[in-house]
């Protein structure tokens, strides 16, 4: 990954170091489209401006289908870079874990944000990113949490163990 020791000198690197962090994220792949991508870019840019005085301290790469390109989607215009991916159903693009990891590797992304829907709830995504050559960060829960909390029985057991009130089994 992009550790404090390997990151180029940058205000984000200094911020991470000053706050006891270990991974510097200055390039994020957004593996989603539409309003999800727009909200993520806006939120991070507002934070970057408030924190660093530079809304572009974090770069965004987005995946863009031919359909999104054809309508000149806002999230593509907001991004620093886009990578065209196959169109059609989401298993061709935004839900395709192998494609997401490949695009992240090729673009030098330090992290991937998958938003909601698509691949965001697939435990293979964080696991595949972590196992990649570049040890890319997944912005979201680990695969183990997705597996535990994505299943009704397992999530109820986790909640009961944490003493969260639950409905009796039926």
pLDDT in tens, 76-91: 999 999 999 999 999 9
DSSP reduced 3-state for 48: helix
The runs of H, that is alpha helices, within the chain are: 11-18, 34-52, 66-70, 74-78, 97-107, 124-131, 143-149, 152-161
Q: How much is the pLDDT for 154?
A: 77
**What is the band of 9 on the pLDDT scale with cuts at 50, 70, 90?**
confident
Residue whose C-alpha is closest to residue 60's, from 35, 77, 72, 85: 77
**What is the band of 170 on the pLDDT scale with cuts at 50, 70, 90?**
low
pLDDT tens profile 110-165: 999 999 989 998 999 999 999 999 999 999 999 988 888 776 777 788 888 899 99
Cα–Cα dist 64/94, whole Å: 9
pTM attached to this predicted model: 0.89
- In percent, how much of the chain has pLDDT > 90? 79
Can you give 105-149 as a three-state secondary structure string? HHHCCCEEECCCCCCCCCCHHHHHHHHCCCCCEECCCCHHHHHHH
Cα–Cα dist 68/102, whole Å: 20
Average pLDDT over residues 7-35: 94
pLDDT tens profile 41-99: 999 999 999 999 999 999 999 999 999 999 999 999 999 999 999 999 999 999 999 99
Report residue 56 CA to chain centroid gap.
Answer: 17
Q: How much is the pLDDT for 2?
A: 87
């Amino acid at each position: 990954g992009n550790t404090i020791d390997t990151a180029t000198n940058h205000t984000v690197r200094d911020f991470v170091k000053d706050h006891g962090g270990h991974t510097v994220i200055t390039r994020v792949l957004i593996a989603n489209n539409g309003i999800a991508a727009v909200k993520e870019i806006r939120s991070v840019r507002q934070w970057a401006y408030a924190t660093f005085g530079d809304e572009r301290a974090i770069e965004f790469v987005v995946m863009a289908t031919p359909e999104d390109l054809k309508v000149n989607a806002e999230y593509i215009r907001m991004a620093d870079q886009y990578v065209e991916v196959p169109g059609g159903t989401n298993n061709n693009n935004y839900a395709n874990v192998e494609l997401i990891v490949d695009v992240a590797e090729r673009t030098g992304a330090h992290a991937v944000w998958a938003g909601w829907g698509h691949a965001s709830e697939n435990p293979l995504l964080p696991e595949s990113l972590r196992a990649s050559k570049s040890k890319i960060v997944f912005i979201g829960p680990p695969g183990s949490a997705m597996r535990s909390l994505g299943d009704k029985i397992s999530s109820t057991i986790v909640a009961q163990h944490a003493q969260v009130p639950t409905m009796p089994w039926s």
